[in-house]
Structure 1
Amino acid sequence: MPADKVAEYADALCYTDLVAGYYVDAPDEVVSAIADFSTWFFVWDDRHDRDAVHGRADAWRTLREHLHAALDDPESHGDHHDPLVAAFAECVQRLFSHLGPAWNARFARHFHAVIEAYDQEFTNRRTGTVPTVGAYIELRRHTFAHHVWLDLLELAADHELPDAVRNHPEYRRAGLASQDFSAWYNDLCSLPKEIAGDEVHNLGISLIQHEKISLEGAVAEVRLRAASRITEFLEAEREVLRMAEEAEDGTHEGDALGAGLRMCLFNMRNWFSSVYWFHHESGRYRVDTWDDRSTPPYISDPAGDA
């Protein structure tokens, strides 16, 4: 975004407001780091989109390699010549300064998978491949960065959950429900833009292509699927609250675990309202006001070299 577009559009995009609702009660320096990382994610997503639209395969491949390298060694990439890589490295360093090596390694592992999922999206877009509904849902769980956002719940709570808690079926069920709702509601609100831009990655588009249903039917189905995740979360939430009660045994360790678990669950719940609010407040989805419904007006879009 050039400076004039930043001045005109940045505040209305509401990127940092979104994270403030996702990670309630996080310390200021933590929510600031997560908000900057989230803003970076949106910018990266737009770069990826433009590289795919213009067929910039070499540029995308180079960026992908540099992001993997910056994730493995963020300290040495802070002055990278590509501002997107340098900003990513700076965000990662800030995120890595709170919980310790085990959490950092897990976050890195999860984000490496996100980068590779974006690469799969790039290939699909260049070949015009619309994933089946099942394949799309699995890919979307990586491109939406489900596991990364769930990792950041622990950062907001200032408590690294033990593997036995994170991998408990009900905790995983609650987290997956919150993230699936968010991703699929995003698909619902992005559908007009993505149809206009001949996109191939959207739950609605996969339903239209592979289930042979109408646009109206696909919209209704995405709404139903998103709503089902609210029900799924509410059922899992009760079980996770029981886990927190059982952890709170009067010991310092048990009470800290219970408090951390409650805060992670509380902010999973906050994802639902924050996602809903964001998609109706952010200028990112107001396609009816754009001259070109496929291209947001705040993006500079030179074709460049492929």
Structure 2
Amino acid sequence: MNPPMTLAELHDIFLTYPESWNRLPDPYPVPDPELEVHRWLDRLSLVTSAGEHLKYGTILRSDLFARHSYPLAPPDRQNTIARLLALWAFHDDRIEGRGIAEAEAERMGRAVRGTSDPPGASGTDRYARAWWELGQEFRRAGMSARWLRRLGANLTAWYRSTNDEAMMLRSRGRHPGSDAYLAVRRRTAGQQVWLDLLQYAYGRETAPAEHGREIRTAYHLAETLYVYFNDLYGMEKDANDGLPNLVPILAREQGVTEVEACREVARRHAETLADACALGHRVCARVPSLAWWFEAYQHLLVGITRAHELSPRYAPVQVTEDGSAVRVRVAWRRDPVGDTGETASAHMEQGVM
């Protein structure tokens, strides 16, 4: 039996964000999104056993992800997003490593637009029915047909990306090349949908002219950042599930220890985050009407990282495949002079919700 691990043996890996990006949600929301998720999953028969309830209601804690990623959103919209994230994780776990039929991927994308008749409630239709109910909520909230089409298209694209992931796993196993892995994982990260939801969460849509190259670049940066922090927090989980992870992939490619590979991932995270900061400053200086969106974008990046730290599905302290103990920690840095964080926050809190 191995001796107990001491703090001196832990290797700290820091993910550092600007202080102004840190916004904590209401600690006591009403109604309670955790309870609302349980009730919704029960009503739609999406979970059918005590074990599934434990996994999706207690271990996943989609309510943590919803509240921390959209911290200034009204509680009812946080609840809707929490239900969406639970459904998404539930279906993802069912198809992970196997993929999905093209027709089914398209059906889920159509369902979330909430425009057709409700699908049936049995078999795989349970998922389409659940997406349709969420689409109905988006429509009742006044989201435009344009926004619903984009959300549906991005959800369909995510479902299709699970086929790429399954093919990569079948052909290359747990250690594909890092470039090939990142190309697939950026698509399966689902950040297109997470970022689409910013407009629903805060009740304000971007104009067609605003949703241009800069926003698409912000989406791409968020996808890359997600892979970095998700794989740091998910090293042990991915090893247990037999899935690829960037840390052991880089360790093998570069001939370094997994602790050194963790530091490399954190370094890449810092570089990509710097690109996101610079992009936000440039765009907000040129298009002030997008200040609210970039502030919400910043909250999302920090919040989803923090939720990984808090969710029992992941772990801030874990043991890598080569036996090293690693602690992933969120840290803060003071904002440089001229940071627009306070200005953008004022835009958020003065009538956009």
The alpha-carbon deviation at position 8 of structure 1 amounts to 4.5
Determine if the alignment matches structure 1 residue 181 to structure 2 residue 210. Answer: no
Could you tell me how far 1:114 is from its partner in structure 2? 0.7
Q: Choose from 63, 66, 72 the match for 1:19.
A: 66
Separation of aligned partners in 2, 1:288 and 1:146: 25
- The whole-number CA distance in structure 2 between the counterparts of 1:239 and 1:93 is 36
Deviation of 1:86 (Å): 2.5
TM-score, L = length of structure 1: 0.75
Deviation at 1:225, TM superposition (A): 1.1
Q: Partner of 1:105 in structure 2? A: 149
Distance 2:110 2:54 in 1: 36
Q: 2:128 aligns with which of 71, 77, 85?
A: 85
Distance 1:198 1:161, change over 3 A: same
The reply on whether 1:31 has 2:78 as its aligned counterpart is: yes
Q: 1:155 aligns with which of 197, 200, 204?
A: 200
The residue number in structure 2 matching 1:72 is 110
Shift of 1:184: 1.4
Q: What TM-score, normalized by structure 2, do the two folds share? A: 0.66
| RMSD of equivalent CA atoms | 2.8
More strand by percentage:
2
Q: Say if 1:286 and 1:28 are closer, same or farther in 2 by CA, change over 3 A.
A: closer
Preserved contact between residue 68 and residue 306 of structure 2 (Cα < 8 Å)? no
2:180 to 135, 146, 166: 135
Structure 2 residue runs of 5 or longer lacking an equivalent are 1-46, 319-353
Identity of aligned residues (%): 20
8 Å Cα contact 2:233-2:314 kept in structure 1: yes
Q: How many residues align?
A: 264
Amino acid at match of 1:207: L
* CA apart distance, 1:111: 1.6
Q: In the alignment, does 2:242 pair up with 1:204?
A: no
Amino acid at match of 2:106: H
Judge conservation of contact 1:78–1:90 (CA < 8 Å) in 2. Answer: no
Question: 2:313 is paired with a residue of what secondary structure?
Answer: helix
1:4 aligns with 2:50: yes
Counting only pairs closer than 5 Å after superposition, residues 43-82 of structure 1 correspond to structure 2 as 43-49=90-96, 52=97, 60-61=99-100, 65-73=103-111, 74=114, 75-82=116-123
In structure 2, the CA distance between the partners of 1:31 and 1:78, relative to structure 1 (3 Å rule), is: farther
Ranges of 4+ aligned residues in structure 1 off by more than 6 Å: none
Structure 1, unpaired ranges of 5+:
246-257, 290-306
> How far is the alpha carbon of 1:31 from its aligned partner?
2.6
Q: Identify if the C-alpha distance between structure 1 residues 7 and 192 changes in structure 2 by more than 3 Å, giving closer, same or farther.
A: closer
Write out per-residue CA displacement over residues 62-96 of structure 1, whole angstroms, 9 at most, x where no aligned residue.
5x633421322454454231333322332233334
